[in-house]
Amino acid sequence: MREVLEASWSLLPPDGQRAFAQLAVFSGPFELAAAEYVLQLDGRPTIDALQMLVQASLLNVTEGDGGLRYSMFDIVGAFAVEKSRSEPAQEAATLRRFVRWYLDQDPLDDLTAMLDRTRPRLARLARDERQYFAIYHRALESETPDHVTAARALFRVYPLVSLRAAEPLHLSYYEQLAKAWPEAPTDGSERRWRLADAVLRLTRVVLNARGGNWTERLGQVESLADLALCQTSTAFHAVVLWYEAQCADALGETQRSIDRAKAAIDVGLGGDDAAVGVAGYAYLILSRAQMDQNRLEEGRRSAERALTIARERDDLYLLSRAASGLAAALRGLRRDGESHEMLRASVDAAEACRAVMPGAAAKTHLGVTEQARGRLAAAEQHLSLARARFAEIGFDYNTLIAQTYLGLVQHERQDMASARLSYQVAGELMADATWPGQLCRCLLAIVDASTGQKAKVGRGVIDDATRWLAEHGAPKLAELLVPWARLVFDGGEAAEARVLELAERRTEVRPDSVIETMMRLMRTDHRRATRDPLALLVTFDQGWCRPPGGAWVDFRRRRVQRSLLRQLVDARLNDPGAALGVQAMLDGTWSDERGVPEASLRNRLHVAMHQLRGEGFGEVIEHDGEGWLLRADLPVVYVTHAVEE
């Protein structure tokens, strides 16, 4: 093959050989405009030189949406590199022109390019990604490493890196940027890239903060807020305020987070296009903080503004994040259909721009939403997929979140073995540094205690974890864990009363939050722990039922009937002496309005009872004209009337 290449090259005129050697600087496909800027020929038009190489089978040409694109096979490119190195001075001059084209001739400055995730920009980066990485590696491999040029190349490709969300790759880039900072020139022409470096350093702060002390990180962000450089770039100023709002939110300082987010929005909306994009992200922080204060309608409006900015800028990444944020607000307002639609839009936008992180995050939210709707199998499927995607890209914290929710779903399904494994895996990821890790340690102890394992050890784990949660911005979780643990480990009327009191406070939390899920599990544990059969009495009012301490649910659907009865019967399996009464109060007027005669209801109940018998609930042993008495191995269930299916 080498002989063939040598023969083809030898047949080229001097201009053709020079063009071939200079093209070695490109890595992957390139466009005609780039070749015209980089190649330096003696009067010959660039297009003629390229066509000559195509005819000699040393260059390939394809036509796509961006026009003509030229490339070399790898073996041909390696041969071109050999030829270019035969003239070091020409090779160095070609490399300088190559760097100027991709870095200095870009219409966007470094900071704006780093923040630009619009669809046209991402399309351009996808075409030229290999060229930027070639600049990066060559700058570092030279005899005197050029950290500044390497860093500037990373600014250009950063939007793609952030979409892939590969955390190890992020951190290696940050290390490189730290080396570049001391060597950065201070003249005005390079000031903007220094700002971009500061922005990336802030991003590193936020990444590291997921496993560290948020108070310390907030101090680092605040130290940059006073830089004079903030006055030269609205985008940089907006980013500093935005990150400060994130840190305050993580510390539980909701009002401070709101104030900083609003400041970021004001600065961003008054700046250039990149600054407006930052304002969109600040709107999302503002929306979340407003929802934390139970200001759901305001949170919805803030998320909608972020979505509007994303659509106006054609920023698919922001669109995915904003749609997910709006879905959370709509869930809080109990507009479940619209919320689900927004989550689907979030997933679609993430897939369109190949953004792994927001796509997996939207899958997590889909799973949590399905759990709140009682569709536990679908929830488990979404959360399993999200966990796998987060694990693939090395995002331990997000893997931990998805794993925690997955464990809660399995816990709610009473699949204790799977729940225990999920809690254990999640707790091992970042157990000592994050609230989900601490929560999983507690839940693991509760599962063990409910099965009679490690009760004494579990009490100590929960005591330590609740102290940590209270001190690190999660007081609501700590408030729930203490009485729940007392109920599981000690029992007693006081613990039961406290659990029921907390479980009733549903209006204070979003319906898909960890706290709301814990409330449901607490109510389940209360029903299992109580020794009073009357506490498990279920009353029906026009087709709706409400367990003591629980929420009203529609009991007219057969699936709900069977699920609730199974739950009630299972709750008594460890109490052979108990008789469980399930009293149905059927309003005759309500029945007549629906045109369902009593005889039909009785007939449907008879069918339902036999279905229950087939599912292991026992046999119908008596029918007294008022109801049926079912006897299982342990409990006895008496049903007096039916309700409409």
- 21-25, 161-165, 610-614 — most confident range: 21-25
What pLDDT is attached to residue 280?
95
Q: How confident is the model at residue 38 (pLDDT cuts 50, 70, 90)?
A: very high
Q: How much of the chain exceeds pLDDT 90, in percent? A: 15
DSSP secondary structure, 128-159, as one string: HHHHHHHHHHHHHHSSS--HHHHHHHHHHHHH
User: Is residue 449's pLDDT more than 90?
Assistant: no
Q: How confident is the model at residue 443 (pLDDT cuts 50, 70, 90)?
A: confident
Q: Rounded to whole angstroms, how far apart are CA atoms 369 and 382?
A: 10
Q: 365 forms bridges with which residues in the sheet?
A: none
Q: Rounded to whole angstroms, how far apart are CA atoms 128 and 160?
A: 11
**In the structure, how many helices (H) and strands (E) does the chain have?**
30, 10
Exposed e or buried b per residue across 559-585, where buried means at least 16 C-beta atoms within 10 angstroms of its C-beta: eebeebbebbbebbeeeeebebebebe
Written out in words, the top-level CATH class of the domain with range 392-530 is mainly alpha
Q: How much of the chain exceeds pLDDT 70, in percent? A: 62
Side chain identity at residue 1, one-letter code: M
Average pLDDT of the segment spanning 473-498: 64
Handedness of CA 233, 237, 243, 245 (dihedral sign): negative
Q: Rounded to whole angstroms, how far apart are CA atoms 572 and 530?
A: 10
CB 419 within 8 A of CB 411: yes
Side-chain-side CA neighbours of residue 387 (13 Å): 20
What pLDDT is attached to residue 535?
26
What pLDDT is attached to residue 590?
26
- 90-99, 180-189, 604-613 — most confident range: 90-99
**Statement: 1-105 belongs to CATH 1.10.10.10:** yes
Q: Which whole-number Å values give the CA distances from 292 to 217, 480, 522, in the listed order?
A: 22, 17, 22
What pLDDT is attached to residue 560?
41
What pLDDT is attached to residue 121?
87
Chain-centre distance for alpha carbon 298: 22
What pLDDT is attached to residue 286?
95
Average pLDDT of the segment spanning 453-459: 59
Whose CA is closest to 54, among 101, 14, 19, 22? Answer: 19
Enter the tokens of residue 388: 């796998």
Q: Rounded to whole angstroms, how far apart are CA atoms 496 and 500?
A: 6
What pLDDT is attached to residue 5?
81
In this predicted model, which residue has the larger pLDDT, 437 or 536? 437
Whose CA is closest to 200, among 177, 220, 181? Answer: 177
Q: Rounded to whole angstroms, how far apart are CA atoms 463 and 522?
A: 18
Q: What is the average pLDDT score of the chain?
A: 71
**Terminal CA-CA length for the chain:** 77
In this predicted model, which residue has the larger pLDDT, 543 or 308? 308
In this predicted model, which residue has the larger pLDDT, 566 or 144? 144
What pLDDT is attached to residue 305?
96
Looking at residue 44, the DSSP 8-state letter turns out to be -
**304-346 confidence digits (pLDDT tens):** 999 999 999 999 889 998 998 898 888 778 787 888 889 889 9
User: Is residue 585's pLDDT more than 90?
Assistant: no
What pLDDT is attached to residue 586?
27
What pLDDT is attached to residue 453?
57
**263-275 confidence digits (pLDDT tens):** 999 999 998 888 9
580-582 and 636-639: which strand pairing?
parallel
What 3-state DSSP class applies to 577? Answer: coil
- 63-77, 289-303, 358-372 — most confident range: 289-303
User: Is residue 612's pLDDT more than 50?
Assistant: no
Enter the tokens of residue 334: 């109990």
Average pLDDT of the segment spanning 19-32: 91
Q: Rounded to whole angstroms, how far apart are CA atoms 391 and 400?
A: 9
**55-78 confidence digits (pLDDT tens):** 888 899 988 776 789 999 888 888
Q: How confident is the model at residue 558 (pLDDT cuts 50, 70, 90)?
A: very low
Least confident of 37-41, 113-117, 400-404, 541-545: 541-545
**187-240 confidence digits (pLDDT tens):** 555 666 666 777 777 776 666 655 556 676 777 777 776 665 566 778 888 888
User: Is residue 589's pLDDT more than 80?
Assistant: no
**108-123 confidence digits (pLDDT tens):** 877 788 888 888 888 8
What pLDDT is attached to residue 593?
31
What pLDDT is attached to residue 299?
92
**398-414 confidence digits (pLDDT tens):** 788 888 888 888 887 87
